[in-house]
Amino acid sequence: MKTHLLTLPKKVVVLIASILLVVFMAGPAFSLEKIRVSHQPCKHALPTVMAIEKGWFKELGIEVSFHYFAAGMSQVEAGIAGEWDVGAMGTPPALFGGVKYGLETIGASITQELIEWLLIKEKDQKAFKANPKEWLKGKTILVTTISTGHYQLLGNLKNWGLSEKDVKIVHMGPAAILSAFVAGEGDVYQAWAPWCYLLQSKGAVKIADGATGGITIPGALVATPKFAKERPDLVAKWLEGYLRGVLYEYQHPGEAAKYLQAYYKKLGLDIAYSSCLEEMRSEPKFPIYDQLRLMERKDGQPSEMDQYISDLAGFFVLQGKLKKAPDVTKFITDKYMKIAAENMEKTSIDEAKFKVFGIKK
């Protein structure tokens, strides 16, 4: 027997109509909003990778698409051209992007000093150790310029009593540097993870890293100025998912290293699990509470992040890459990190969940 709405009691008809109206109105609200995320084939992409694969972004109501770049400055240019919305990169391109285009630095990804290497051929190791300064003079150094690798190179040259004028700098992307080493071209090779591990597997020998150069190299989380202005809520949502990935790395480094190895493999990079685990354990990470502390400005004083980027800017001023030290507070902001923290606190119903998110009351 068919039942028609006209034969039902008026109250039931009104109730059904109300339910249908709610479903109809709610439909668009539950559709996933899209965010385009840019990364390089580096470890700082991993939290985004895991948040996608584990469905954390969908829980937040967003759909994330990946956009890959070999190095930071090409990534910056593409972002300003409207090809992506948020992402992660080294602090040198974030600095130059902030100065030139207003690219916003919204957090820190990792610190990279231990996975930023300089390498040489094995046959040159004895001569280098005997007198690093004399051996390096006039040598050809293959570098991805205006990058964290460039920054650590300059720090190490200074440590050896040298400057860029004492060597020959040749700009190359990471893959090209690896190919050049295999072909026997160049003398010194700058590489960050995972490229440093690939060079090592081909016979290159590590001679220095960012720590030996006496510098701190935080990676930057960034947002393009247009997207940040129009959708600060989505910038914060991406940060929520990303930082959940950061916490997973803390809690499950062995499992996270497997995700990292799989990520590299998808990009055509065959990295040993042991190297991925080493990278996972050697990089300090920043959960939400540490992000807020890192970017907090107290009593008119610069934040730690401000100071890191200011030190970096000062270094590039001395090298003639910048005309003057910029006001980094114009493009470094904790605005979106605070929104993300507030959202995390609202969804955390007990102290245990606060600990999971890395939030300290």
pLDDT at site 185: 95
Give the residue extent of every domain in the chain: 33-111+218-357, 115-209
3 state SS for 249-300: HHHCHHHHHHHHHHHHHHCCCCCCHHHHHHHHHHCCECCHHHHHHHHCCCCC
How many percent of the chain have pLDDT more than 70? Answer: 87
- Identify which has the larger pLDDT, 125 or 115: 125
- Which residue intervals of the chain are DSSP H helices? 10-29, 46-53, 56-59, 72-80, 91-101, 125-130, 132-136, 148-159, 174-182, 195-201, 225-230, 232-251, 253-266, 273-282, 288-295, 304-318, 335-347, 351-357
Q: Is the pLDDT of residue 24 over 50?
A: no
Q: How confident is the model at residue 178 (pLDDT cuts 50, 70, 90)?
A: very high
Per CATH, is 33-111+218-357 categorized as 1.10.8.50? Answer: no
Q: Is the pLDDT of residue 56 over 50?
A: yes
Query: Tens of pLDDT along 277-335?
Result: 988 887 667 888 889 999 999 888 999 999 989 988 988 887 788 889 999 999 999 99
Please provide the average confidence, as pLDDT, over all residues in the chain: 85
pLDDT at site 12: 43
Across the range 109-117, mean pLDDT stands at: 80
Alpha-carbon Rg for the chain, nearest whole angstrom, is 24
Q: Say if CB 177 and CB 151 are below 8 A apart.
A: no
- Identify which has the larger pLDDT, 52 or 29: 52
Report the CATH number of the 115-209 domain.
Answer: 3.40.190.10
pTM of the predicted model over 0.85: no
Q: Is the pLDDT of residue 349 over 50?
A: no
pLDDT at site 21: 42
Across the range 231-248, mean pLDDT stands at: 94
pLDDT at site 289: 84
Domains 33-111+218-357 and 115-209 share a fold: yes
Query: 148: closest CA among 105, 91, 214, 74?
Result: 91
Across the range 161-169, mean pLDDT stands at: 93
The residue written with tokens 């920043």 in the block is 286
Across the range 235-258, mean pLDDT stands at: 92
